[in-house]
Structure 1
Amino acid sequence: MSKDTFLKGALILTVAGIVVKIIGSVNRILLSRLLGGEGVGLYQMAYPIYLLALSISSAGIPVAISIIVAEKLARSDYRGANRVFRISLGVLAITGIVFTFLLYYGAGWLIEHHFVRDARAYYAIAALAPAIFFVTVLSSYRGYFQGLQMMTPTAVSQIFEQLFRVVTMIAFAYILLPHGLEFAAAGASFGAGPGAAAGLMVLLYFYWRHKPGFKHKMETQPMVIQESSVSIVSRIVKLALPVSLANIMLPVVSNIDLLIVPARLEVAGYTVEQATELFGYLTGMAVPLVNLATILTASLAASLVPAVSEAFTLGDKQLIYQRISTAMRISNLITIPSFMGLCLLATPISLMLYGTPNAGMSIAILAVGIFLLGIHQVTTGVLQGLGHTAIPVINMGVSAVVKIIMSWTLTAIPALGIMGAAWATVADFGVAALLNMVFVYRYVGFSLNIKDAFKTIIASVVMGAVVLLSYDAIMSQTLHNSVATLGAISVGGMVFGIVILLVGGVAVRDIEQLPRVGRKLAVILTKLRLLRR
């Protein structure tokens, strides 16, 4: 296995992310049909507790390991990189065991003290405990390979983990359903363990396959004074703690939304049932679409961390700037047209996916956040790669305060209602992105290329006009919303691709970095004078 370019690594992770999302969607459909609302409710009572325990035990560790490993490799210190991995693996194995036992034996305590209201959820909580050990150990291997800038092991393990998780979830839920709904929910929860174990087996395969070549490099490298175990553990904790806090903040902010938005909608004049319905449109329908549109930017951020760390260790500011510039340009090429298309087709997409047009307004407003969230994710990866992992967390905290104030104020205005909550979420993304950009400019001197962004905006506007015309034309012929929506999206995508090439919004180097077909495609497009140098 060879080191990936950061763009190739991002594309590999993106493909894996899409596959994982598809498998997850199938899982939600099958599990809902099998367990019904009550059974899924028992599962959902247990799963957030598992995620919280996982966030404390391992979240942030892959980022920390990838930063330090990339730093060691930049100095050709292969022994040091291997030492970081072995120490982190030992530490995480211990924390994984501790939190596994804490969750297993703490399940009864959570029920007894009414932190979980339904006693039947005990079995689902206890069944999730074994997964913590496997996922925690898994995170060490993923951090190691990401530090080596090899994204294929992480991508393949994610797919296998999700696949085995879904198969075992459905199988155990089906087998245990005759014994009672609480046992079926526990069977579904238990699936996380075999899934994580399967992902770990994949990573072990890649590790043993990679080990001989890496061992040879360790044996032939010059003698380097090795960092102490205490120093390595200290650096991992220092880098990982802010990332862990960021991961914990996400569900905390979601729970704050749960407390604020429905209550303020009632102040605006809605009934409890109407407030719950509108909250579901925003958080259950609009937010997942935004997250889906930013899979690539999230992958870019993950791939940027070791790439920027390597360049920073070498003191190559030009390389850092170049990698940030490429990542930001690619991000804009995805997020700006995604925002335009989702905003214009919000109601048809809502009807196609969810069977109701009522989520359209929330989707249209939240679509603006796609562009801002993309910038936030990319700049977070840059700052983490530079070793400033605390800065994005602080910025997230500031943006969360802005969101809370705006949600409290705007949602209670009758003329806005749920639209106020949606705009508050957009402001949350925007403030976090802006603050991150300020610090990236301070440390690297990078700012958005207005000329490149303008070209993308022009192509997106042309695409938007074609999308609307195409939807109306196809709809008038077929009278079928789903056919018209998919047709308009397809036509819009082709038009955007053609226009962005015509206005010079894509450079040769962007195409050349595409895996396998990049160089040949760049030659063809250059001969056709559709690419700029």
Structure 2
Amino acid sequence: MKEHDNTDVMKGALLLTLAGLAGKVLSAGYRIPLQNLTGDVGFYIYQQVYPFLGIVTILSLYGFPSAISQITAELLARGRGVSFRHFYAPVFILLFIMMAGVFLLLFSQAGELAKLVGDVHLTGVYRLAAFIFLLVPFTALLRGVLQGTGQMKPTAFSQIAEQFIRVFLIIGAAVWISVSTVSYYAIGQAAVIASMAGMLAAIIILTMFFVRNRSPAAREARTPWRYYTGVLLTVGIAAAMNHSVLILMQLADTFTLVPGLTADGWTKLEAMAAKGVFDRGQPLIQLGTVLGSSFALTLLPAVSGEITAKDSKALHLPVQRALAVSFYLAAGATVGLMVIFPEANRLLFQNDDGTGSLRILVMAILLSSIGITAASILQGLGYVKQTAFFVAAAFVIKVLGNVMLVPRLGITGSALATVIGSAFLAALMLITLKQKMPQLALGKQVNWRALLLAITGMVAFLAGMDWLMEPIISRAGLLLYVLFISVTGGAVYLLLLLRQGAFRKTDLSMLPLAGLWIRLHKERDS
């Protein structure tokens, strides 16, 4: 029975991981048609509210549920019940007090916040966005309790439903705004309403699972509210911070980019459009980072708690391989996207505005992938608070970089600040990981000769294709061309890495079309 339960938990965890990947891809992908429909100014308005909506999603999906699941699991392990009086009510009240505080602060200070970001017309959007924080206690409590009892499917299903509803409503609103005379600021309000609708759907789904699968309390016992408060504030906030790297970078741009541009003499409209152009890079960074980190992390065994010397020796090999695979994939995605960015920019966003600055921003894919992979390893080993502190430090570096560089270099300065912040985060994570696991030989795990040959071959192929192909005018033709060079360029890169012995068979099993790569790997060995 116990083995069956463990299998169910593993299947649920896998489903939760896949749901997370699907959610990230969906979250990145829908912003491309959104920009196409509303233009750079409409996209700017959406991106000015998106970090707040993203923070709500992180709190309700990763942050507080992690803390509540830990509390639930600990209470059940001790044979103590999770009763309404001594668990559900106090945890919900504490969450509601926290989120009500955020609501009151954001609602009452929406005007000042809008002035701070450089656009008073966003006041109504921020005031509306305050209400979504009031839904966090419901989703967080339900997800946390269900996860704490080993039920991962409810979180996965509710996450997918929440994302689909949100995306459907946002794109629908963008279509309506594009054909009507309504103000583009309506897209910000629509984004908030869509997020609220998605969370309400998630609450309904979670409630259905909760009512159907709720376990009876084993033994009711009083637990101090101080304990609940401590875990929610420490584990909850730390877990949220660890999932907020990319959102915090965007939050820094929300507060500093437009004011920095206007300080340099840009008109407000020019600054808004430039912010919209800069934000074109965000979905691409998100997709590239998912590619660079997610496949690599599947190479790691499940780990938790503080590591011992014995654990460290057993884990250092899979950790090294995970970091190496993350580096290979992210390096290929970064260099490849930098090469084809002019075509990708025209295809996805209808013109090549900001290509130079966005090519610099794309470098964050490599650095963020390494940083997130290393952070995930450290979190699995029990260093959640330490990695959260590093994320906060990277956010400060990004803010300071924007303040110093944007007035001088425009959006190029913001791109550089993102790269610097991401590099700082990656360096901190790797240094800490090396301290915790001294056996790691990070540099030796990368086949630098194979990497150099693969990158050179891919760049030569992409440059050659660009020289051979005639200029493509139609967007349909550009679509076919970009798809072709993306797929073939990536295949050339992976094939060269494979032929030079950069991958192992276990690494290849995690990649798309794994069977093909494994067969090619066998041919190399034969």
| TM-score (normalizing by structure 1) | 0.73
> Are 1:344 and 2:339 an aligned pair?
yes
Aligned with 2:415: secondary structure? helix
> Separation in 1 of the partners of 2:34 and 2:274?
25
How far the C-alpha of 1:376 sits from its partner, in A, is 1.0
Aligned with 1:309: secondary structure? coil
Aligned with 1:197 (options 173, 196, 200): 200
Structure 1: gaps (5+ residues) = none
Name the stretch that deviates more: 491-500 or 19-28. Answer: 19-28
> Are 1:424 and 2:417 an aligned pair?
yes
Name the stretch that deviates more: 432-441 or 232-241. Answer: 232-241
> Are 1:18 and 2:11 an aligned pair?
no
Structure 2 counterpart of 1:529: 523
> Separation in 2 of the partners of 1:275 and 1:183?
19
1:301-340 CA-to-partner distances (Å, cap 9, x unmatched) read: 9989993326849973345434433432332232111011
> Separation in 2 of the partners of 1:86 and 1:18?
40
Name the stretch that deviates more: 231-240 or 124-133. Answer: 124-133
How far the C-alpha of 1:347 sits from its partner, in A, is 1.7
Structure 2 counterpart of 1:324: 319
1:129-172 CA-to-partner distances (Å, cap 9, x unmatched) read: 66434444323455567778886654433221022234456779
Structure 2 counterpart of 1:485: 482
8 Å contact kept, 2:296–2:326? no
Matching of residues 245-284 of structure 1 within 5 Å? 247=244, 250=249, 253-258=252-257, 261-262=260-261, 265-266=264-265, 277-282=273-278, 284=279
> Separation in 2 of the partners of 1:226 and 1:531?
63
Aligned with 1:463 (options 443, 458, 464): 458
Given the superposition, is the C-alpha separation of residues 203 and 395 from structure 1 closer, same or farther in structure 2, using an over 3 Å criterion? Answer: same
> Separation in 1 of the partners of 2:61 and 2:17?
22
1:228-269 CA-to-partner distances (Å, cap 9, x unmatched) read: 775465344322334456759546522453266415654xxx
> Separation in 2 of the partners of 1:256 and 1:121?
12
Matching of residues 8-47 of structure 1 within 5 Å? 10=17, 13-23=20-30, 25-26=32-33, 32=38, 41=45
> Separation in 1 of the partners of 2:211 and 2:151?
14
Structure 2 counterpart of 1:450: 444
Structure 2 counterpart of 1:437: 430
Aligned with 2:442: secondary structure? coil
Letter in 2 for 1:433: A
Matching of residues 130-279 of structure 1 within 5 Å? 131-142=132-143, 153-167=154-168, 189-204=192-207, 230-231=226-227, 233-244=229-240, 247=244, 250=249, 253-258=252-257, 261-262=260-261, 265-266=264-265, 277-279=273-275
How far the C-alpha of 1:101 sits from its partner, in A, is 5.4
Name the stretch that deviates more: 127-136 or 456-465. Answer: 127-136
How far the C-alpha of 1:57 sits from its partner, in A, is 8.2
Matching of residues 369-380 of structure 1 within 5 Å? 369-380=364-375
> Separation in 1 of the partners of 2:301 and 2:148?
5
How far the C-alpha of 1:503 sits from its partner, in A, is 1.8
Structure 1 counterpart of 2:92: 93
Structure 1 counterpart of 2:498: 501
8 Å contact kept, 1:50–1:129? no
> Separation in 1 of the partners of 2:86 and 2:500?
51
> Separation in 1 of the partners of 2:89 and 2:192?
27
1:430-454 CA-to-partner distances (Å, cap 9, x unmatched) read: 1111011111111123342434352
Aligned with 1:387: secondary structure? coil
> Are 1:382 and 2:370 an aligned pair?
no
Given the superposition, is the C-alpha separation of residues 452 and 202 from structure 1 closer, same or farther in structure 2, using an over 3 Å criterion? Answer: farther
8 Å contact kept, 2:401–2:417? yes
8 Å contact kept, 1:6–1:307? no
8 Å contact kept, 2:253–2:402? no
> Separation in 2 of the partners of 1:531 and 1:46?
53
Letter in 1 for 2:256: D
> Separation in 2 of the partners of 1:320 and 1:185?
46
Name the stretch that deviates more: 228-237 or 159-168. Answer: 228-237
Aligned with 2:162: secondary structure? helix
> Separation in 1 of the partners of 2:399 and 2:109?
29
Matching of residues 352-431 of structure 1 within 5 Å? 352-404=347-399, 406-407=401-402, 410-411=405-406, 418-431=411-424
> Separation in 2 of the partners of 1:272 and 1:3?
52
8 Å contact kept, 2:67–2:144? yes
| TM-score (normalizing by structure 2) | 0.74
Name the stretch that deviates more: 313-322 or 338-347. Answer: 313-322
8 Å contact kept, 1:12–1:151? no
Given the superposition, is the C-alpha separation of residues 289 and 37 from structure 1 closer, same or farther in structure 2, using an over 3 Å criterion? Answer: closer
Letter in 2 for 1:13: G
Structure 2: gaps (5+ residues) = 1-7
> Separation in 1 of the partners of 2:226 and 2:125?
38
Letter in 1 for 2:158: S
8 Å contact kept, 2:304–2:382? yes
How far the C-alpha of 1:123 sits from its partner, in A, is 6.7
Structure 1 counterpart of 2:3: none
